[in-house]
Amino acid sequence: MPEVDVTNAEQVENCRKMLIRAYETEFQATETWGLEVTKTLFLLNAAGLTGVFALVTTGSILRSELPFMLFALGIALAVISMALGRYMHSFAATGWLDSIEKFDVAPKVSLLTLPNLKTVNLLQVLSMICAYVSGAVCIWAGLKLYLHF
């Protein structure tokens, strides 16, 4: 973005409101991410692991044939995804807050973008990879369990 001053008082106020909305959205997303998306992945993998433990107690199936580690890996990846998602939104919210503070001092068009976008994007990609792999591992473990019977 170009280093252009925003001089019109109405434009300054509108731009500031946009920055505040972006900050509030990221702050809300920080809370929602961990509570919704990853919770589901965690619960699915935990349910699978619980089922595996229940099958072991019957004694009719060899422990080595059950996908303990797959479900445990799915749980670990879900937790990692949750942490990365939380940090991603936290970094974005901090970036927007920093932009608001700088915009209040010197209203420039270049401050209407997220200053730490590369870090936020990297965390988003890593979080999504962990989430997808967690879901895939859960499906793989469930399929392995299903095919066993």
Ordered per-residue pLDDT tens for the chain, 149 residues: 445 566 677 887 888 788 888 878 877 776 676 667 778 888 888 998 888 888 888 877 777 777 889 999 999 999 999 889 888 888 888 888 888 888 888 877 777 777 888 999 999 899 989 999 999 999 999 998 888 77
Distance CA 61, CA 104 (A): 67
d(CA 30, CA 97): 14
The answer to whether the pTM exceeds 0.85 is no
pLDDT value at residue 132:
92
Distance CA 80, CA 16 (A): 34
∠ Cα 116 2 21 (to 5°): 50
Helices (H) and strands (E) in the chain, counts: 3, 0
Bridge-partner residues for 108, per DSSP? 5
**Which pLDDT belongs to residue 31?**
67
Distance between CA 21 and CA 1 in Å, rounded? 20
